[in-house]
Amino acid sequence: MKFTSRPFLIEAWQVGSDMEKPHWIDVELAQGKLQCCLNETYWHILDNEHSVTGLTASPGDWIIRGTEGELYCCNDSVFKKKYRPIV
């Protein structure tokens, strides 16, 4: 069988871009779900015990907050294939 994904709304921020950092990034930092390193150059996504999950966003990558509040990262080329901005 073949499947297609359902459309859903996400929030995302590109690391190292000129985009203004959204408020939810600061909230996730305060809650211990994100950790920034080297003057906000690299970002680590943390688990519930505040340990690094292995998910690291580098300059050009996107930090995504999904529909259930989950965080993950995505490289720019995959992001552009999968998502488009809402205007």
> How do residues 53-85 score in pLDDT, each as one tens digit?
889 999 999 999 999 999 999 999 999 999 999
**43, 38, 39: which is closest to 54 by C-alpha?**
43
Check: CB of residue 42 under 8 Å from CB of residue 29: no
What total of structural domains would you count in the chain?
Answer: 1
Distance CA 78, CA 20 (A): 21
- Quick check: is 1 in a domain? no
**pLDDT confidence bin for 15, thresholds 50/70/90:** very high
Check: CB of residue 65 under 8 Å from CB of residue 22: no
Distance CA 54, CA 70 (A): 15
- Quick check: is 38 in a domain? yes
- Which residues span the domain enclosing 41? 11-82
**63, 16, 61: which is closest to 38 by C-alpha?**
16
- Quick check: is 3 in a domain? no
- Residue 23 pLDDT exceeds 90: yes
Q: What is the pLDDT of residue 16?
A: 93
